[in-house]
């Protein structure tokens, strides 16, 4: 069996895909419970809009995870240590889950998980991009 040099990123895609399906299911469930077929706001007034929270959690995830997986793939293709890469991807997954579960879904959507998830993810993306550049330093003559 041929195993491509992207086995780590491929294997780590499972928890990311599973959580994406969870977030998608929450949007569908919120749409059904609020009788809102289109849009990101339900007609519910007062308090936190469950549909809006579900949609934002889904969108926030989709705004960052594809970039993270792409950077991980580039790192792996350029010879990144697979064990370090697996831990890094696990860290990204935890950051995204914390952002939603301990942030957006917390009371008033102001849980500490929002800050941890937001700043942690942006730091992760910057660090992974820097690692990709480091891995290609021979190409640039450094």
For tokens 């991980």, what's the residue?
72
Output the pLDDT for position 107: 87
The conformational region for residue 35 under phi > 0 = left, psi -120 to 50 = alpha, else beta, is left
Mean pLDDT throughout 45-58? 86
Whole-number Å distance between alpha carbons of 53 and 99: 12
Domain residue extents for the chain:
8-19+56-140
Q: What is the pLDDT of residues 54-70, one digit of tens each?
A: 999 999 999 999 999 99
Mean pLDDT throughout 43-64? 87
Angle between helices 82-99 and 50-77 (to 10 degrees): 170
Residue 1 confidence (pLDDT) above 90? no
Residue 123 confidence (pLDDT) above 60? yes
The DSSP output letter for 44 is -
Q: Report pTM.
A: 0.91
Tokens for 96, please give them. Answer: 């995204």
Distance of CA 124 to the CA centre of its chain: 11
Residue 45 confidence (pLDDT) above 70? no
Is residue 46 classed as helix, strand or coil in its secondary structure? coil
Residue 118 confidence (pLDDT) above 90? yes
């Amino acid at each position: 069996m041929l195993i491509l040099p992207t086995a780590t990123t491929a294997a780590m895609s499972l928890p990311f895909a599973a959580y994406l399906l969870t977030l998608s299911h929450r949007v569908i469930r919120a749409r059904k419970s609020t009788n809102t077929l289109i849009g990101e706001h339900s007609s519910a007034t007062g308090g936190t809009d469950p549909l809006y929270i579900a949609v934002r959690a889904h969108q926030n995830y989709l705004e960052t995870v594809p970039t993270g997986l792409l950077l991980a793939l580039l790192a792996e293709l350029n010879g990144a240590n697979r064990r370090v890469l697996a831990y890094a991807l696990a860290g990204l997954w935890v950051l995204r889950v914390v952002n939603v579960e301990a942030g957006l879904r917390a009371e008033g959507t102001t849980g500490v998980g929002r800050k941890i998830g937001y700043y942690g993810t942006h730091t992760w993306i910057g660090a992974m991009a820097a690692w990709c550049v480091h891995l290609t330093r021979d190409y640039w003559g450094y």
